[in-house]
Structure 1
Amino acid sequence: MSSFNAAVMYGSLARSQLAIVPLAALALVAVLFILWRRLAGSRSCEGQTSTDRHQYQSGLKARTDTPLPSTPATHSDASLDRPKLPCILEDDMIKLPKQPYDVFLVLDVEGTCVQGSGFDYPNEIIEWPVCLLRWKDKNSRGKARVLEVVDEFRSFVRPTWRPQLSPFCTTLTGITQEQVDAAPTFPQVLQEFRTFLEKNKLIDHCGQRLVRFCFCTDGPYDIRDFVVKQCFISKIPVPVWLTWDVMDVRRVVGEWHDFTTASAECRQVGAFPLPRRVVLSIPRQLHALGLEPFEGRQHSGIDDTRNICRLVVELARRGWKLQPNTSINPNRRWPWMGKRGKVLEEYYS
């Protein structure tokens, strides 16, 4: 072979070897990328952005506290029909949403009832219990997680349309005829409660709000139904401060439970299993949040109120944003409503 041909062959070989180098580098990069994707896939909870993680329903942002001991699911359908929600990172446990309200008034009224009556019955309020919650640690940016009970108000109420309690009502609520006979009427109780609000600097003497406060109830019924009915029977307008902001705690616990059970696919976050379509009574809500059982007597207004407080305090501790979710129509009417506060007896003779 001539020296010229040898040089040409050597040059071609060198060029081919040089061409292999970038190809080998690309292959190495591809292998490393595949390995990285597999590793990231096994830790998908850690690869999400804070923007994508926590948007849930109407702009609510949820974050959890330190994880509770996990409980194995006892209902095979507990996770069916759940929205596919993103996972929660460990570093989010110290990030809290801005809490727009300063005070929460937890209310659970008891009303007159007869066996078999539904929510359309003209109930009269016979117990008005309220617990007042304030933040202990709210900072200048409005972030907080610790709520505490700072005051309570409780009064029995004397009914006027049907002043005699049914045996069913007494058995259900534990409220006796003697207690309501000695109690003030509803307009008098409202005046006493307004004094309670003024004492705690929530409203001024004109009824104007001084701080942002929100009523909290178990279900939407207490103010939306019971108060509106009672004000009609008592022939008084619904106080404006009772129609501002109301949070249905039962609904919030349900939203929190849906969120956390869906997120449990990525990491256990303390959501206890519940059967589908179950009515979230106060004891079941306490169970869903991993709290101790109901304390006191169920359907006692003050005991119900104190246990609802435990739910609100725990939701705050877990970093859930607390805000209204229930609208109130003070002019709502039922078929039994006549003129000027009269209950049409043909409906309940």
Structure 2
Amino acid sequence: MPTFVIFDLEFTTWPGAMEQDWSAPGQLREIVQIGALRVRRERGGHGERGAYGAYRVVEEYEALVRPVVNPVLSPFFTTLTGVEQGSVDRDGLAPAQALGDFLAFCQGQSVLSYGNDMLVLGENIGWARARGEEIKHHALTPGFLNIRPWLNAVAPATATVNSGRLWQALGLPRPAPGDEHSALFDCHSIAAALRHLSGEGVSLPEALL
């Protein structure tokens, strides 16, 4: 059966950066954490680990990435995401490697996010190339889909929440261990929302059918 990918990014930030669109000197949206789920649409699976009714998680991808311009994480970022400096220093991948691995995970599938994370991904690919780094598997087909406008329209209760709180806005059980602003947890929150809406008979975007 066909599969698609749900992904989420955590990237460097500071107090007020989002409100100012990362416009302060030296503030770039460098990716620090990538989370992704490969999801297959199928029937059944209720109650099984990793199953979302008609949408079954068949594979996970998670990586830490070492930022280059701002290698020292801000206390604001660490408090927000729970990602510690020591973990990034020890386990973080070079940006080109992480980006290439993630794009390989996505090959041949529709790739969706709750918001414009694909723009941040593109920024980071551009910076890596400008440094002369090679990124493999950079062409994606069919491509990216931001499902936030659709999801907010069919479920207005979600309009003011981030991806990691979708499950709460819809009154659903916690979808996975962890909490919001952890990239993989946020992916599970998106998947739980899709399961719920599918079960409610909502017509889903064509890319997910």
TM category, shorter: 0.7 to 0.9
CA distance in structure 1 between the aligned counterparts of 2:165 and 2:101, rounded to whole angstroms: 33
Name the structure 1 match of 2:98: 189
**Structure 2 residue 74 is the aligned partner of structure 1 residue 166:** yes
Name the structure 2 match of 1:25: none
CA contact (8 A) 1:214 1:323 kept: no
> Map of 1:1-349 to 2, 5 A cutoff?
102-118=2-18, 119-120=21-22, 121-137=27-43, 146-182=54-90, 183-197=92-106, 203=107, 209=108, 213-220=109-116, 222-224=117-119, 226-235=120-129, 239-241=138-140, 244-257=142-155, 274=157, 279-282=160-163, 285-293=166-174, 295=176, 296-319=178-201, 320-323=203-206
Q: What fraction of aligned residue pairs are identical, expressed as a percent?
A: 26
Displacement of 1:316: 2.8
4+ residue stretches of structure 1 with deviation over 6 A?
A: none
Unaligned runs of 5+ in 2: 44-52
Structure 1 or 2: more strand by fraction: 2
Q: Decide which structure has the larger Cα Rg and report it.
A: 1
Report the TM-score, using the length of structure 1 for normalisation: 0.47
SS in 1 for 2:192: helix
CA RMSD, 1 decimal? 2.8
Unaligned runs of 5+ in 1: 1-100, 138-144, 198-202, 204-208, 259-273, 325-349
1:279-305: per-residue Cα shift (whole Å, max 9, x none)? 133365334534235752111111111
1:311-340: per-residue Cα shift (whole Å, max 9, x none)? 12223333322246xxxxxxxxxxxxxxxx
CA distance in structure 2 between the aligned counterparts of 1:283 and 1:228, rounded to whole angstroms: 22
Name the structure 1 match of 2:46: none
SS in 2 for 1:187: helix
CA contact (8 A) 2:13 2:77 kept: yes
**One-letter identity of the residue aligned with 1:219:** G
SS in 2 for 1:109: strand
SS in 2 for 1:108: strand
**One-letter identity of the residue aligned with 1:149:** V
